[in-house]
Amino acid sequence: MSIKERKTAEGVKGFALCFILLYMAFSRVFLGGHLGYQMLFALMGYETFRRYIRDKTYPGPFLVEKVRAYWPELFAMVAIVTAIYALFFYADMPLVRGQALWSLLFANNIFQSLAGHPLSIEQPSPFGHLWFVSLLMQCYLIFTLAIAGKKTRQKIISVAFFGGVISLISALIMGIFGGLDLAEARIFYSPESRLFSFFILFPAVLYELMGKGRGKVANRDMAMLGIMIVFVILLLFMAEAGPAYFGGLFLTSLLLNFFILFLFRDGNAFESVFQFPLFTFIGERAYSIYLYSMPTFFFTKALAERLQLAGGLWIPLAFILLLIVAQGSYYVFQVKGLSNKWVYAMLATLFGGLMIMTYATQGPEVMKRETPTKPVVKTVKPKEDEREQKKASLTERFEPSNELAAAIEQVNAQKPYYKLTNEDLGKLQNQKGLLLGDGSAQSAREAYLRLMPNLQVIGSENLNPSWYVRRIKEYTDDGPIILQIGNDGALTFDAVDEIVKTAEGRPLFLFNVVADPSYEDKNNDILQRVADKYANVALIDWYKDAKNQSDFYDDEGHMKDPAKRLMSHMLGHCLLYNMPEAVVKPDDGDKAKHAKTEENLAAKENDDVPDVGDSN
């Protein structure tokens, strides 16, 4: 490439990376920010095949060159981030060690597929984003195998044809996934759309560089402008469900590839746009910035939670820290070209030692922390005393702490229809279940565990549907499933329905929400419809009891302690007195056994027994 073309290519990388970073930070705003990956794959594919046609390219040296360009900085990043993670989150090392190891083999995406890790920007791993580097190297490997042999005109045509075939297969897979609406298959590291983006331009590049087609495209700048308009629209309004999602990926990949093809022709209006200093600055450091993007966001957010920083204040701090760290890495590895063997030896010793330690001391899953038990001295009691003890009720045996007793009395007085007795509290001490949710679940976690210590509570902001599906599938203990979703953003009926179906007929509770007015009513309507659809689902009407309580939320919308107490109290009461019955799995073919019929719904409306959360 000429200097001018190289500068434009750096600008394209910077432009695409900007949207990827914005997606990591504001996924609810830039719904299609991950389409920046499509642009990067299109650019990489174009550069690779164009270089093969114009220059002498040998398979072995080409692949070695790519490994040398990517691996040293990747290795340093993985070693350093693993050490920091082990320092602060050693108990959770089993979550990330596999991703770290496989990343060094450029197989992070393969590991995530085999291990069933749903990729999301909220995934509790600073290595989740390395699927991109792994898949890019796999594309280079496929290309290397394709160009093996003597380079001739016929060979070039064959490689271009091979790229077209790979693209068609990739498009076919996308069509199957989209047509069958396989929501669980919609994961960022799936190769179907990425291979399409990388290889689809091979035939077009060959057609152009052989002197064909250059004069047949009229109004090229207008076409490029139209592609950019479509791209920006999809960035903000990318569909998240089924066929529309895959249709968006296919359309974006196709359009961006033609945009890249037009961009590197002489004399177009977009050269100056991509040579803008900000884009070229980011583009030159794109690899370093991308490597440290997820770790920086991960650790900054964790630090903000510990320091209780307000709102999204951690986001600008994360961007500043990211630029500083990435600049340091860029200077060391790409400007100076670090080659000191002692440095690599120390990093290898550090990383290897941590891996040995975690595999030797920790199991494949996250270690559960168990409270230490006091030694019990067994004494012989008269049989009459044993019979009396068996007759003793849970009320006599369980004595709540003063703090818990005061909280229970307060809620009992305010909401008598959710009254809990000491006997109820004793039962809740052994109540098992899985509560998954967003920011509200995370905020109320302490209140839940104070009342129900055996309940598994996992909450975080902006988790995607595939995360909930995976967690429910992994849950094997007895007890119901509780979903507290829709507080942080808009829901879709298909996403909630897919999550609920994963429970396979187990008892399940849904909390409705008090949230942003722009999506509050819509979310509550979706949750109500899903609850009405399944016999094993019950709705906890949080909206009815909390909407008009002025002391439940602060000015920023965060729950106060009274709200958390009532929320945990409501859940405890529903677990004891409003537990829905388990039904057969939805795939048994007998829909009558697990769907709520119109007669059942009508009977429920006329029933004198109040529904879950009904105060009347």
- Report the chain's terminal Cα–Cα distance, integer Å: 74
pLDDT beyond 60 at 574: yes
Return the pLDDT at 82: 94
Mean pLDDT of 474-491: 89
Q: What single DSSP character describes residue 595?
A: B
pLDDT band at 614 (very low <50, low <70, confident <90, very high): very low
pLDDT beyond 70 at 191: no
Return the pLDDT at 92: 77
336 SS3 class: coil
CA quadruple 451, 455, 458, 459: dihedral positive or negative? negative
Cβ-based neighbours of 553, under 8 Å, separated by 6 or more: 514, 559, 560, 563
For 512-546, the pLDDT digits (tens) are: 999 888 889 999 999 999 999 999 999 999 888 88
Return the pLDDT at 208: 64
d(C-alpha 61, C-alpha 451), whole Å: 63
Edge-to-edge, what's the strand order for the sheet holding 455-459?
Answer: 455-459, 433-437, 481-484, 508-511, 537-540
pLDDT beyond 90 at 40: no
Distances from the Cα of 280 to the Cαs of 185, 322, 609, in angstroms?
A: 35, 17, 67
Return the pLDDT at 507: 93
pLDDT beyond 90 at 25: no
Q: HSE-up of 422 (CA within 13 Å, CB side)?
A: 13
Mean pLDDT of 300-315: 75
Angle in degrees, CA 424, 426, 431, rounded to 5: 85
Q: Is 615 exposed, middle or buried (CB count within 10 Å of its CB: 0-12, 13-18, 19+)?
A: exposed
* DSSP string for 502-542: HTTT--EEEE-----HHHHHHHHHHHHHHHHHBTTEEEE-H
Return the pLDDT at 555: 73
Mean pLDDT of 156-170: 84
Please name every residue paired with 508 in a beta bridge, in sequence order, or none if there are none: 481, 537
For 144-155, the pLDDT digits (tens) are: 998 888 888 888
Mean pLDDT of 439-447: 86
To the nearest whole percent, how much of the chain has pLDDT over 70? 75
Least confident window among 302-316, 325-339, 567-581: 302-316
232 SS3 class: helix
DSSP-based helix, strand, coil % in the chain, nearest 5: 65, 5, 30
Q: Is there a contact between 497 and 488 (Cβ–Cβ < 8 Å)?
A: no
pLDDT beyond 50 at 370: no
Q: Is 397 exposed, middle or buried (CB count within 10 Å of its CB: 0-12, 13-18, 19+)?
A: exposed
pLDDT beyond 70 at 187: no
* DSSP string for 243-308: HHHHHHHHHHHHHHHHHHHHHTSSS-TTHHHHT-HHHHHHHHTHHHHHHHHHHHHHHHHHHHHHHT
| CA-based nearest residue to 463, from 34, 124, 234 | 124
Look at the block and give the residue holding tokens 């890790």. Answer: 117
pLDDT beyond 50 at 615: no
Mean pLDDT of 169-194: 58
For 332-360, the pLDDT digits (tens) are: 998 888 888 899 999 999 999 999 999 99
Between 270 and 83, where is the model more confident? 83
d(C-alpha 150, C-alpha 124), whole Å: 47
Return the pLDDT at 397: 45
Return the pLDDT at 577: 87
pLDDT beyond 90 at 183: no
Least confident window among 30-34, 131-135, 192-196, 426-430: 192-196
Distances from the Cα of 388 to the Cαs of 377, 381, 391, 392, 395, in angstroms?
A: 20, 11, 5, 6, 14
Mean pLDDT of 580-607: 51
pLDDT beyond 90 at 104: yes
Between 587 and 440, where is the model more confident? 440
Return the pLDDT at 331: 93
Angle in degrees, CA 244, 246, 252, rounded to 5: 100
Mean pLDDT of 103-127: 70
483 SS3 class: strand
Angle in degrees, CA 93, 94, 97, rounded to 5: 75
The token pair that represents 184 in the structure block: 């669980």
d(C-alpha 503, C-alpha 533), whole Å: 14
pLDDT band at 211 (very low <50, low <70, confident <90, very high): low
pLDDT band at 108 (very low <50, low <70, confident <90, very high): confident
Q: What is the dihedral of CA 462, 465, 466, 472, to 10 degrees?
A: 110
Return the pLDDT at 266: 62
Q: Rounded mean pLDDT of the chain?
A: 77
Least confident window among 85-99, 107-121, 599-613: 599-613
Return the pLDDT at 3: 79
Beta strands in 376-520 (DSSP E): 433-437, 455-459, 481-484, 508-511
| Residue 509, φ and ψ in degrees, nearest 5 | -110, 145
434 SS3 class: strand
pLDDT band at 289 (very low <50, low <70, confident <90, very high): very high
